């Protein structure tokens, strides 16, 4: 489909695509997968995101942002407030302690086989004038060794692009969506993809997937990311990776478009291979969904798996999802922003219940009923998302967000351990 709509001044990467298409008989093109160290056709991806580690988020580690003062609302302003030296010292300490080799062992012991590791462009292709500090890739190198030792595969996920692809604090910079407004931003992002592909070319037994860009916001009209720019960027990302090797999977987030709409794009008949869709499923960022009871949350998850994830024409993971049924976690909607759940979010939010116990605390402090409901919702999603390629939970560990903290949830029986265990089997049948 993109070949007919693609813009005329053929970019370098498209040339590579076409050259490959010409060089390889079409029957070979459909023979997949190509010597990957994980069989994405027949094995289920079961994994977790290592969020808030190499890209900081105010709700995952509130204490770090408090050290930056009230103006520190994202990694850009945090590092700006701290200054280069202060930021380097605080962030290095965080990188070295927040997640260690023991975490990789625990993830593997619970029956998982993948981790998704967010990293910002600023770690890979630092830009003059940015306040950010570097050193994350040394940690990522180490993480890949830990993953190999624990028999885990790694998705290297570019979570922040210059100009911000979604305006979320987790892109590094909260505010406007400027990524696609300047071709230089897009070029820098492609350079980051290429640099990651080259850096991990010798690690393809572990780094099986590179995700081009997390959550580009393409559904906001003129103020969001232009969909054609995004599609061209995905094609060019594939070309940059293929120029390095033939195997590494390119993962593409759906840009918040209906997943159906991606069928045909870089699909089985388009001459490209080892391409995966990533879709994210949350039921807490919408007032209507927050009114649902647990049965309704379960039904929504089952329906999403059956009707949306299942029918896609390429490998599809639900690369982020949660057991949370409130948006109460402190700073979840942004530093200094309230929650829809208790009506403190402002316009359009109304009271569903108190955030006591949900905003900050331990999983064991939640009521028995709350823990049972979360477990039920988690199990339904596990069943729903295994209908296709698999899933990655958001997120492994937090400073105190009990609805989101997989490490604690596994330890307290709120997340099935191993992840294939069920107390509520067949919820989606």
Ligand X SMILES: *[C@@H]1O[C@H](CO)[C@@H](O)[C@H](O)[C@H]1NC(C)=O
Q: Give catalytic residue positions.
A: 215, 320
The nearer residue to ligand X, 73 or 125, going by C-beta atoms, is 125
For 79, residues 6+ apart whose C-beta sits below 8 A from its C-beta are 87, 91, 131, 132, 133
Beta pairing partners, 397: none
The nearer residue to ligand X, 12 or 71, going by C-beta atoms, is 12
The nearer residue to ligand X, 129 or 183, going by C-beta atoms, is 183
Beta pairing partners, 316: 277
The nearer residue to ligand X, 212 or 380, going by C-beta atoms, is 212
Q: What is the rounded radius of gyration, in angstroms, for the C-alpha atoms of the chain?
A: 21
Beta pairing partners, 118: 157
For 386, residues 6+ apart whose C-beta sits below 8 A from its C-beta are 44
For residue 125, the minimal CB distance to ligand X (Å) is 13
The nearer residue to ligand X, 243 or 337, going by C-beta atoms, is 243
Q: Is residue 187 close enough to count as binding ligand X by CB under 6 A?
A: yes
Dihedral pair phi/psi, residue 304, rounded to 5°? -60, -45
For residue 254, the minimal CB distance to ligand X (Å) is 25
Q: Which residue from 25, 128, 183, 221 is in contact with ligand X, where contact means CB under 6 A?
A: 183
Distance in angstroms (rounded) separating the CA atoms of residues 332 and 330? 5
Distances from the Cα of 117 to the Cα of 95, 137, 348, angstroms: 12, 11, 34
For residue 10, the minimal CB distance to ligand X (Å) is 10
The nearer residue to ligand X, 11 or 16, going by C-beta atoms, is 11
Q: Is residue 184 close enough to count as binding ligand X by CB under 6 A?
A: yes
Q: Is residue 8 close enough to count as binding ligand X by CB under 6 A?
A: no
The nearer residue to ligand X, 236 or 386, going by C-beta atoms, is 236
For residue 236, the minimal CB distance to ligand X (Å) is 8
Beta pairing partners, 251: 211, 276
Q: Which residue from 3, 10, 12, 260 is in contact with ligand X, where contact means CB under 6 A?
A: 12
For residue 220, the minimal CB distance to ligand X (Å) is 23
Distance in angstroms (rounded) separating the CA atoms of residues 298 and 372? 13
Give SS3 for 49: strand
Instruction: Give the number of residues in contact with ligand X, rule: CB under 6 A.
Output: 5
Token digits for 49? 């995101």
Stretch that binds ligand X, among 182-190, 213-221, 244-252, 366-374 (CB under 6 A): 182-190
Token digits for 384? 């729903």
Dihedral pair phi/psi, residue 118, rounded to 5°? -70, 140
For residue 299, the minimal CB distance to ligand X (Å) is 46
CB of 65 closer than 8 Å to CB of 72: yes
Cβ neighbours, 10 Å, residue 58? 27
The runs of H, that is alpha helices, within 183-269 are 183-199, 227-242
Q: Is residue 229 close enough to count as binding ligand X by CB under 6 A?
A: no
For residue 187, the minimal CB distance to ligand X (Å) is 4
Stretch that binds ligand X, among 148-156, 181-189, 271-279, 329-337 (CB under 6 A): 181-189
Q: Is residue 245 close enough to count as binding ligand X by CB under 6 A?
A: no
Distance in angstroms (rounded) separating the CA atoms of residues 31 and 45? 21
Kindly list the residues in this chain that would bind ligand X in the complex (CB under 6 A). 11-12, 183-184, 187
């Amino acid at each position: 489909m993109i070949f007919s709509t693609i813009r005329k001044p053929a970019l370098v990467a498209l040339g590579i695509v076409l050259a490959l298409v010409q060089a390889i008989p079409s029957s070979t093109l459909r023979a997949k997968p190509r010597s990957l160290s994980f069989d994405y056709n027949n094995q289920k991806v079961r994994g977790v995101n290592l969020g808030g580690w190499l890209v900081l988020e105010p709700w995952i580690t509130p204490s770090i942002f408090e050290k930056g003062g009230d103006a520190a609302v994202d990694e850009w302003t945090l590092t700006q407030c701290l200054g280069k030296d202060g930021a380097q010292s605080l962030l290095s300490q965080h990188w070295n302690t927040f997640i260690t080799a023991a975490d990789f062992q625990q993830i593997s012991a619970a029956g998982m086989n993948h981790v998704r590791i967010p990293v910002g462009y600023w770690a890979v292709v630092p830009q003059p004038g940015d306040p950010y500090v570097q050193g994350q890739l040394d940690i990522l190198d180490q993480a890949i060794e830990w993953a190999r030792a624990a028999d885990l595969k790694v998705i290297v996920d570019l979570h922040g692009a210059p100009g911000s692809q979604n305006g979320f604090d987790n892109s590094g910079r909260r505010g406007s969506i400027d990524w696609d407004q300047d071709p230089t931003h897009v070029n820098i992002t492609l350079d980051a993809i290429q640099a990651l592909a080259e850096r991990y070319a010798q690690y393809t037994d572990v780094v099986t997937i590179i995700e081009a860009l997390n959550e580009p916001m393409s559904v906001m009209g003129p103020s969001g990311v232009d969909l054609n720019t995004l599609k061209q960027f995905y094609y060019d990302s594939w070309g940059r990776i293929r120029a390095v090797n033939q195997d590494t999977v390119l993962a593409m987030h759906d840009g918040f478009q209906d997943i159906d709409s991606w069928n045909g794009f870089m699909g089985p008949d388009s001459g490209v291979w080892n391409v995966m869709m990533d879709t994210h499923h949350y039921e807490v960022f919408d007032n209507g969904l927050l009114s649902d009871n647990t049965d309704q949350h379960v039904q929504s998850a089952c329906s999403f798996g059956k009707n949306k994830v299942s029918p896609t024409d390429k490998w599809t993971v639900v690369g982020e999802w949660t057991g949370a049924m409130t948006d109460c976690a402190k700073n979840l909607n942004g530093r200094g922003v309230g929650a829809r759940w208790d009506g403190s979010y402002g316009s359009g939010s109304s009271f569903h219940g108190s955030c006591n116990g949900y905003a900050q605390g331990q999983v064991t402090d939640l009521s028995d009923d709350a823990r049972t409901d979360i477990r039920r919702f988690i199990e339904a999603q596990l069943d729903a998302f295994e209908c296709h390629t698999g899933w990655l939970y958001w997120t492994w560990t937090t400073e105190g967000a009990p609805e989101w903290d997989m490490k604690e949830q596994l330890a307290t029986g709120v997340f099935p351990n191993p992840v294939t265990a069920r107390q509520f089997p067949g919820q989606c049948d």
